[in-house]
Amino acid sequence: MIKKFASIGIAIAFAALAVLSWPATAGQDAFTALANSDAVPAFAAVGMLVNASTLQSIFTGLKTLFNNALKAVPGDWQKTAMEVPSTGAGEDYAWLSRFPRMRKWVGDKVVKALKAGKYYKANEDWEATIEVDRNDIEDDRLGLYNNQAMQAGESAGELNDIIVDDLKNNAFTQTGIDGQYFYDTDHPVGDSSVSNKITAALSSATLAGAQASYGALRTKIMEFKDEEGMPLRLIPDTFEVPPALEAAARVICEADKLGDNSPNPYKGTATVLVNPGLTSSTAYMLHVTSKQSVKPFIVQMRKKPVFVSQTGMDNDDVFNRKKFKYGAEARATGLYGYWQLSAASTGAG
């Protein structure tokens, strides 16, 4: 329905331009009047006038399709990530250097200083571009590009999901605030090393298998402490898996009994999130998403997706290749939050 109305709107705009440009010579044949008229030398006999007004109408129609598709994409990124605004080329996340906790005030206050410059993230450029051929404008074939505009809008709407999925897919090999891989076995906490990573394959076949996989991640998170040895009091609530592990994950989190008919102690302990954007068929993750202040993953947004155009008649692509360009641009990046809010297994066994 969106596609249909937008095409009609563009067609009406072009038709109006054509009618207003024709000379008002009563009784003349339409094509004869067009041929003899000096008012519209660029107008094709059965096509559309390509000028600034026409190009603006195209931009408006495609932008409407783009924005409608953009708004229609719900996304799952908000379940495990948060968006923070950026006001420059990048941002320094010194505030992530410590996991703040209340402590008993005895004597002088213990000031936890921030370490500036420790975790800086530069914004990245993103784009999705549509190329419109001048002949298609003259021949009134713009309906060909409606689907492309909507697809660009859908892709832009998935930008945060794309960024967050990239973080998750590389979390075993990319570093976070402490200089360690986000999922690692030796995060420094005080004088100790703490792990939020295992390698056990996910299993719902037996109680022992469930304990060694899902149960091990759950226990790790709930046992995390701060640098002073105080429990962080974290309870995981979201179990994220690729499609290949959905069945096992739902048994663990939703079934009364496990595969060996033993009572399931983990029923209702987390919500299953199946993510087709995960590239590993064996890795799985357990997250704490109930914190309002921060989530395991962060989207840094400098400029949300906007629809833009390149239609200047003196542009090289227009002059040499008769191509007009429309598309979306954005500036954003992703980074890891507190590693204590998530634990994962490679599933390699």
CATH number at residue 239: 3.90.1690
Measured in degrees and rounded to the nearest 5, phi and psi for residue 14 equal -70, -40
Q: Is residue 315 in a domain?
A: yes
Please tell me whether the overall predicted TM-score, pTM, comes out greater than 0.75 for this model.
Answer: no
Q: What distance in Å separates the CA atoms of residue 343 and residue 284, rounded to the nearest whole number?
A: 9
Q: Is residue 7 in a domain?
A: no
Could you tell me the pLDDT band of residue 324, with boundaries at 50, 70 and 90? confident
Could you tell me the pLDDT band of residue 121, with boundaries at 50, 70 and 90? confident
Q: Is residue 65 in a domain?
A: no
Q: Which of 119-123, 188-192, 250-254 has the lowest mean pLDDT?
A: 119-123
Q: Is residue 62 in a domain?
A: no
Number of structural domains the chain divides into: 1
The arrangement of strands across the sheet holding 284-287 comes to 197-198, 342-345, 284-287, 238-241, 271-274
CA distances from 69 to 74, 111, 151, 264, 340 (A): 10, 48, 7, 42, 36
Q: Is residue 335 in a domain?
A: yes
Structure tokens that stand for 48 in this block:
């559309």
Cα 123 to the center of its chain, rounded Å: 14
Q: Is residue 59 in a domain?
A: no
- Report pLDDT digits (tens) over 28-85: 443 344 334 443 333 333 455 556 676 666 667 666 766 777 666 678 999 999 999 9
- Residue 91 CB partners (closer than 8 Å, separation 6+): 84, 120, 121, 300
pLDDT value at position 7?
Answer: 36
Answer yes or no: is pLDDT of 318 > 60: no
Question: Mean per-residue pLDDT for 220-239?
Answer: 94
In this structure, which amino acid lies at residue 201?
A
Domain of residue 242: give its range: 77-349
